[in-house]
Amino acid sequence: MKIIIAIALIFSTAFSFGQSSQNMGTNLENDFSKSKLGAENVAAFETRAKQKVEDFCNYIQLISNKNFDTKFRQHSQKSALSLFNSDQCVINDSIVTGVDSLVTISNFLDAVYATHFQQIEGQASQIVLQDDLTLTESGDYAGTITYVQTLTCYDEAGTIIETVIENKTVGVTLNRKTKSFGTTEKIIWVVALCDIASS
- Domains of the chain, by residue range, sit at 2-198
CATH of 2-198, one of 3.10.20.30, 3.10.450.50, 3.30.70.100, 1.10.10.60: 3.10.450.50
Secondary structure (DSSP) of 50-69? HHHHHHHHHHHHHHH-TTS-
Q: How far apart are CA 88 and CA 81, in angstroms?
A: 10
- pLDDT tens digit sequence for 148-192: 999 999 999 999 999 999 999 999 999 988 887 788 888 889 999
For residue 116, count other CB atoms closer than 10 A to its CB.
Answer: 9
Question: Residue 123: is its pLDDT beyond 90?
Answer: yes
Q: Which pTM value belongs to this model? A: 0.82
Q: According to the model, what pLDDT value does residue 10 have? A: 53
Measure the CA–CA gap between 67 and 61, rounded to whole angstroms. Answer: 11
For residue 48, count other CB atoms closer than 10 A to its CB.
20
Looking at the DSSP bridge assignments, the partners of residue 187 are 178
Beta bridge pairs of residue 38 = none
